[in-house]
């Protein structure tokens, strides 16, 4: 790996940072650096050749999913507006009953009233 060109106008802080980084990188052998670089390049090729096409397919499927969700939303909105409060959707909450489907809170009328 090529040595970094020294900027003549670098500040003391920049120089210290550069020297600290060089100190760490000098400890690693050239063979280890080349091996790591090859592995990194292999990983990058896999990302580009295998993962990227899959991500594009996922995006295309998500685009196809939007009209289906629109249909579901349209039907659900109709069901919420015309909700019959099915027995399996009702929850007793003390002094009222809530419909889990439409969110309506139905007050309980006692038989004496």
- Residue 86's nearest CA partner among 75, 71, 97 is 97
Q: pTM, whole model, 2 decimals?
A: 0.55
Could you tell me if residue 5 is inside a domain? no
pLDDT range class, residue 9, cuts 50, 70, 90: confident
Looking at the structure, tell me whether residues 74 and 93 fall in a common domain. no
Q: Which residues contact 103 (CB under 8 A, 6 or more apart)?
A: 80
Q: What is the pLDDT of residues 25-65, one digit of tens each?
A: 999 999 999 999 999 999 999 999 999 999 999 999 999 99
* 44 and 73 together in one domain: yes
Burial degree of 104 (CB within 10 A; 0-12, 13-18, 19+): middle
Residue 78 shares a structural domain with residue 97? no
**Same domain flag for 25 and 74:** yes
Residues 90 and 62 in one domain: no
In a shared domain, residues 61 and 96: no
Average pLDDT of the residues in 75-88: 97
Does residue 66 share a domain with residue 98?
no
With beta carbons less than 8 A apart as the criterion, state whether 85 and 106 touch. Answer: yes
CA 44/CA 38 separation, integer angstroms = 10
């Amino acid at each position: 790996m090529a040595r970094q060109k020294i900027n003549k106008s670098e500040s003391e802080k920049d120089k210290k940072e550069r020297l600290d980084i060089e100190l760490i990188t000098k400890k690693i052998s050239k063979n280890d650096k080349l091996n790591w670089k090859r592995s990194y390049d292999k990983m990058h090729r896999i990302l580009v050749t295998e993962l990227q096409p899959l991500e594009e397919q996922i995006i295309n499927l998500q685009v196809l999913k939007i009209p289906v969700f629109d249909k579901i939303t349209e039907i659900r909105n109709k069901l919420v507006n015309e909700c019959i409060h099915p027995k399996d959707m009702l929850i007793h909450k003390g002094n009222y009953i809530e419909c889990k489907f439409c969110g309506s809170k139905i007050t309980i009328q006692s038989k004496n009233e």
